[in-house]
Every structure is written in C-alpha cells, then in structure tokens.
Amino acid sequence: VGKKRTESVVFVFPGRCSELNTAFLYLCETRKRERGKEDMRKFLASLAKPLVDALLQPNVSQLHSINEIQKAASVRCHKYVYDYIAGGSDDESALRNNAESFRNKFDAYPFVLNGVGPENVCTKTRILGTVAVDVPFIPAPIAGNAMFHTDGERAVARVAKRFGTTYALSTLATTSCEEIKACLDENDGDGDKTHKMFQMYVWNEGELVDEALRKAKESGFETLVLTVDLTWFGNRERDKRNGFSIPPKLSDPKFIYECLKKPCWTVDAVRGWKSRTFEYAALRDDTKLMEKQRDDMAGFVRDVFNPTFDWEDAKALREKWGKKFILKGVHRADDAVKAFEYLKADAVWISNHGGRQLDGAVAPFDALPGIRKAVGEDKELIIDGGIRRGSDIALALALGANAVAIGKPVAFGLAAGGEKGVERTFTILKEELERTMGLVGARTIAELRSKGNEIFVKRERLRNSS
C-alpha cells in the first residue's frame, strides 16, 4: 500500500498496479460524490423541516384524547404508514370488536365520599412479580417505528423510562437491542434501571433465533415475550392496496404522490432515508431476507417464520432463554392454563395482534374474564387491543388484568409528533386513569382490582338480578 490520500480517505496502490489503482480511485470518488448528494438531501431537508413543521406539524400539546391524536397522525403521516397502523385484516371486524368490547357493556357504580384526591391516588403497581412500575400500562412492541417518525423506537423507550414503566422492543424493530440500551443508558451514570422486554417471533433458522437471544441478553433485556399468533400472515388489504414495504419502494408513483401530500412526514423521512433508518434492524446484515420482505411480506413470513412451532418448541425456547418469559397471542382459557403449567410462564399476554391477524378473533377484553377464572387470581395477565381511554385501562384492571399494553395509541402518537406525540399519549392515558380512579373511589391499583366487580357491573347481570 502506498501513500494515504487524506482528502478522499483512500489508499493508492503501487504504480505497477495502475489499472487496479485507477479503478479503485474511481469507485472511491464515485462513492464520495454519492455521499455528497446524500448529504445535500439531508441538508436541504434539515433546512426545510423548521418551516414545514411551523406551518403544518400538528401541535400535540393541544390534543386531548387518543381520537384527536389519531386524527393528527392521519393529517401528518403518509397514507400507507397511517393505514399500516390503523388497519386490520380482512373486513376488520376484529379490529372494530376490540374497541367496541369496552363500550356500553358495563356500568360504573362509584363509591362516593371516598376521600380520593389528586394527592393520594396512586397508579404504581408491580408486574411480573418483582418489577415496580409507576403506571400499569406499557407500550406494546410494534414493528417499524421509524416509518412513523424518525424518532422511532428510541422515542417510545425514552417516554416509557420517564413514566417509570417497562419497554418492549419488537423483533422487527428499526432499532437494535444495542441501540435501545445505549439510548436508555444516556445520562445515567450508574446505568439504566428501565425493565426491558424483547418480543420475539419464531424464525425457521435457529441461528437467527440464537443471535437474537444473545443480543437481547447482552443488552440487558430481562423478559422474553414470545408471540405465537403470527405463524401465518394476516390478510391486511390496506397494506396490499398501498404496496406497503419496509423500506418503501421509491419507484412506486403512488408512494411518491402521497409523499407530496404529506410534507411533514416526507421531510422527516428524507433526513433519515440513507442511514438505513427504515430497515428492520434484525435483517440489516442479510440482503436476501431484506429484499424478500420488501417484495412480498406475506411470502417472507411464510418462508422465514416457523408455522409448525408447537408447545415443545416453546418449552425449549423458554428453557434456552432462562429468564422471565411471557406467552403473547393467547385467546383461550385452556391455552392460558397450559402456558402457566407447562411452560412455567411468568405471564400470559391476551392479544389478537390488534385485529391484524385472524379476523373474527375474540376481543382480548371479552376473553379476559374466562381466562382469569381458569388460571386463578395469582397468575399474571396482560391485555392489549382496543384501549382508547384511561377508563378502558381501569376497566381492564378491575376485571382481571394485572397490566395493559398500549399499541395503536402509542403508534399514533409517534406518527403525529414523534417523541412529543408519544409523551402526550402517555400523559392523556395516565390523567384519564387517575381521574377514573378518583371518581370511582379507588386509591391504588390494588384497590381498583379488589373492588373491581363491585364498581363495574355488566348490564346483563343487572337485568338478570332484577
């Protein structure tokens, strides 16, 4: 190797290798020009962002409900991103049932003169037996956060930390386990104390599974969440119509047209486009898999995930992990019982994947009472799906859940305003939960759960008793 050319940071080969030297320099200079164009795009986007945000960015501090946050997300973000968050499978009946399961079924019978005020209502509780949290809800693991806003998974993790709750990272996140650890360790001299969950799909390739577990452990993730309701890919027709992929196909005219209609999202996206922001972190080093999921997501799931994964496989994975373990995607009481007895699960997560898999699947809130009765009071249950209000969280806790996971509202918050939008989502839900607890007369989460059947009474039960 000859002298170093510092201006282009390449090495010049000896003269007798002149052809190789010329080709090498050409490639390096070409790449240098490409980087220059990339830097210029980012520079122009950075210049445009303050103006575009000032004119068009929703003011999330003025939003007062999850419905308003969802509307703001639809105004700011690209259509195919919004539809990815908001949509379900097939006719979307499971999606609608999730939200409707909380409506018009229970009446609240509050305890009056209860002495519960803002200074003595407490939302602190414990999950997984030993994990202290300041609020009884956690952000559900969601794939591809950077597509909603380039603040991405880091924003959700930071907000979870500020609210004193656990954080759950998806297998198909656009941020790695190592990056989340570094994010949460910022400004913590003695290391971050946020409890971290790693949600896992089951790959066909054992090496991918082993590598994912290794990285999660090394990054301080303490709980494995095994998702078992995505062995087949749900028929998500909105995504099919939009040609949804991660990263998106820039050659698609429809995609470009929607970019022009949503300048806030587009300017933000351009700033992170070439830094691999929009790629699944777990697939960054596998070009073949990355191309496969971009071209055919359903085929990717069929080829890469393991649909024959069974209870024996789950037990082996649970033993390999060796730390806290949650089975996610449970609908049936007998499956919940088996998860605790056979897998020795620390918790069961009742979920129908946000209505995005089997259309017609029972709403998690409707499945909750039967599962609680089957497993007993001492087993831990987490529930997601259809949560739109803090009063929904209170109702779920009162009727058997130990904690609630929030999916779409957090994603809408991120899509509406990045980290500020996620924080606004958490703030709204916490304030609504505290207000509900105060109005019904429950000082603590434990009191809400113990008095739940007295406070919230099903209308059918009332008719039968009369």
Give catalytic residues, as residue numbers.
353
Half-sphere exposure of 148 (CA within 13 A, CB side): 35
Amino acid, res. 199: Q
DSSP state of 360: T
Q: Which two tokens stand for residue 17?
A: 């290798």
How far is residue 36 from each of residues 43, 178, 411, measured CA to CA in Å?
10, 29, 33
Closest to 282 in 3D by CA, of 387, 193, 179, 370: 179
Kindly report the backbone phi and psi dihedral angles of residue 192, in degrees, each rounded to the nearest multiple of 5, phi listed first: -75, 145
Contact 83, 244 (CB under 8 A): yes
Q: Which residues contact 227 (CB under 8 A, 6 or more apart)?
A: 141, 171, 199, 200, 201, 328, 329, 353
Contact 330, 353 (CB under 8 A): no
Q: Pairing state of beta strands 106-108 and 324-330?
A: unpaired
Kindly report the backbone phi and psi dihedral angles of residue 341, in degrees, each rounded to the nearest multiple of 5, phi listed first: -80, -40
Query: What is the rounded distance in angstroms from the CA atom of residue 426 to the CA atom of residue 134?
Result: 12
Contact 88, 236 (CB under 8 A): yes
Query: What is the rounded distance in angstroms from the CA atom of residue 166 to the CA atom of residue 197?
Result: 7
Query: What is the rounded distance in angstroms from the CA atom of residue 431 to the CA atom of residue 25?
Result: 61
